[in-house]
Amino acid sequence: MTATQPSAGRLRLIIAVLVLAGACSATAGVPIVSEQTPTPAQPTRPPTATPDPAIGDDADPTPTPTQTPDSSIDVGLVAPDFAGMVTATGVPVAVLTGTADGFLVRTPCGNQELISGGEPIESATVVIDPGHGGPVDTGAVGPTGLVERDINLTLSLALESELADRGIPAALTRTGDYPVLLSVRAAFADQLGAELMVSIHHNSPIGDPSDTPGTEVFVQSGSDSSARLGGLLYEEVTAALATFDLAWTAAPDAGVLRVLLPDGNDAYGMIRRPITPTALVELGYLANPAEAALFATDEYIDVASSALADAIEAHLVTDRPGTGFGNPPRMFRPDRAPGADLCDEPLLE
């Protein structure tokens, strides 16, 4: 697919990035400490359209879905009966509106582009977000060279397939090795009207030696649905990974967690931004050689994708609460990650 190749000459957005996905702190360079005195949860989250370029997120050039398109391409609007599509190059995009000449879509870098067509996304109960993507935002890199960006995508594709086998329609925020802004990922799930979104990551730096997996699941303050999703993900993933006899690593407060800014709002962009109930799961530590070796196996992908699907299905069809609760929130110390990031648009057609 040419979708993985940046198109030369297209608009390059320079985006001040602090923490692309929030977690995976090796790439973020952001220390996180546990807070001894829990901060009360915020009853509501701020509007997701509010850009916060100073803290833990990318800039937000994303138009809202209802924004009037550029008059230069307004050649007769045709309201499509679907909210997203997969372009000819395999890139999932939100459809802003239809025109006589095609569809105005939101690109992975948050621009508007008119495309001639694609495969409609008729329904997506679940949005799967493979963390990171592209040549700059690799995420964590393991001791054997395994790159988080890639293992996240491999696992996400396996999860999509597993959910399809169970009759649960799902869509991915990215399908290849290209960058997608956090704002675009969040808006994609919201526009599709998904019931939930799961952002998939693998952690670094290395944790402390542990007899049990150090899975961490970050959830949204003020959302019971997000908290229950996080609890189910923690319960199913840790149970599945514990079947592997491994020298695990973990943080002392591994479990279901909230990470807060000093003002009490959720710190991570993929948690703060979506209206869709969302959880971000760090399944294990890519920085740990033993775990990195496991993550590179097909068996891991099979076991982990089944566990994630079990959690998602349980959220959809049961009232189970999940496990892993009780930790105080972590406090996020804003700090700039080194350098700035570039968002090179993939080819859409």
| Chain residues in the site for Zn ion (CB under 5 A) | 21, 24, 131, 139, 201
Separation CA 103–CA 96 (nearest Å): 7
Q: How far is the CB of 282 from Zn ion (least distance, A)?
A: 7
> Of all residues in this chain, which one has the CB nearest to Zn ion in the complex?
24
CB of 188 to Zn ion, least distance (A): 18
Amino acid at site 223: S
- Comparing CB distances to Zn ion, the nearer of 45 and 149 is 149
Give the shortest CB-49-to-Zn ion separation in angstroms.
24
Smallest separation (angstroms) from Zn ion to the CB of 262: 23
Q: How far is the CB of 201 from Zn ion (least distance, A)?
A: 3
Per residue, what are the HEC states of 219-287?
Answer: ECCCCHHHHHHHHHHHHHHHHHHCCCCCCEEECCCCCEECEECCCCCECCHHHHCCCCCEEEEEEEECC
Strand residues in the chain grouped as ranges (E): 12-15, 32-34, 77-78, 84-87, 92-99, 102-106, 112-115, 118-121, 126-130, 170-172, 196-203, 208-210, 216-219, 248-250, 256-257, 259-260, 278-285, 330-332, 341-344
Residue 118 or 255: the one with the smaller Cβ distance to Zn ion is 255
Looking at the Cβ atoms of 23 and 187, the one nearer to Zn ion is 23
Token digits for 155?
């696992």
> 131 or 274: whose CB is closer to Zn ion?
131
Between 219 and 347, name the residue whose CB sits nearer to Zn ion: 219
Q: How far is the CB of 28 from Zn ion (least distance, A)?
A: 9
Q: Least distance in Å: CB of 200 to Zn ion?
A: 8
Using the minimum distance from each CB to Zn ion, give the nearer residue, 103 or 268.
268
CA-to-CA dists, residue 38 to 23, 51, 98, 281, 334, angstroms: 20, 26, 47, 21, 18
Nearest CB to Zn ion, comparing residues 21 and 232: 21
Backbone angles phi, psi at 231, to 5 degrees: -65, -40
Q: Strands 196-203 and 126-130, how do they pair?
A: parallel
